[in-house]
Amino acid sequence: MKPDDFEIVELGDPRLRQVARAVDVADLTSALAYADILQYWMDQRGGVGIAAPQIGVPLQMMIIASRPNARYPDAPAMAPLLMINPEPQNLSETHTALWEGCLSVPGLRGKVTRPEGLDVRFYDRTGQSRLLELTGFPARIFLHEYDHLIGKTFVDRVASPQDLVSEKVYLQQIIAAPSP
């Protein structure tokens, strides 16, 4: 398998609406090959996360990798983290609404309300079970990518059509606008 054998699946493709199946943790060989392809496409497109359904692979795996960039200038830096069969737990009762975008929804941003933190139980690339607490932007990335595993996109989470803007408007008016 090579990265060029895959592409980013975009909104409207029925594969984005499939519920992903669990990875057989006893045999991680093929899953780890997909992990390299996920990393490639995330890096190519400048993303901060990606899930296997976004390359047309209906498996419960994702990479989260918070890092500052033009779209998220205040994002904390973290090393890319592969999560296999992730399970969100203990979601925060405190929620915030922030702008999100998606490699599978190019050119569009939406304001999405999500919990500010949670715990995640998942398997790492060695097959070890881990429990990790995520807060702030990394928690948001996780929840966004987890949506892909259950057949959803951020567009499904937007409360109102007024909370959708083009990428151009987002960068010009929301990111570049001076704070009041």
Cα–Cα distances in angstroms (integers) from residue 21 to residues 4, 52, 57, 81, 89, in the given order:
23, 10, 10, 20, 19
Looking at the annotation, which residues are catalytic? 145
Domain with residue 46: its CATH number is 3.90.45.10
Does any domain span residue 77? Answer: yes
User: What pLDDT is recorded for position 3?
Assistant: 76
pLDDT at 43 over 60: yes
pLDDT of res. 49: 95
pLDDT value of residue 98: 92
Query: What's the chain's average pLDDT?
Result: 92
**What integer is the mean pLDDT of 126-147?**
96
Specify the amino acid at residue 112: V
Which residues constitute the domain of residue 94? 3-175
- Residue 180, domain member (yes or no): no
Per the model's pLDDT, the better-predicted residue between 3 and 10 turns out to be: 10
Looking at residue 24, its pLDDT comes to 92
pLDDT over 90 at 80, yes or no = yes
Q: How confident is the model at residue 135 (pLDDT cuts 50, 70, 90)?
A: very high
How much is the average pLDDT of 7-31? 93
Give the pLDDT score at 169. Answer: 86
Number of domains in the chain: 1
Backbone dihedral angles phi then psi of residue 34, each to the nearest 5 degrees:
-65, -35
Answer whether residue 180 shows pLDDT above 60: no
pLDDT for position 10: 94
Q: What is the pLDDT of residues 137-179, one digit of tens each?
A: 999 999 999 999 999 999 999 999 989 999 888 888 777 665 5
Closest CA to 7 of 77, 59, 58, 56: 56
Quote the strand ranges of the chain, DSSP E: 49-51, 61-64, 81-89, 95-102, 105-115, 117-123, 129-135, 164-166
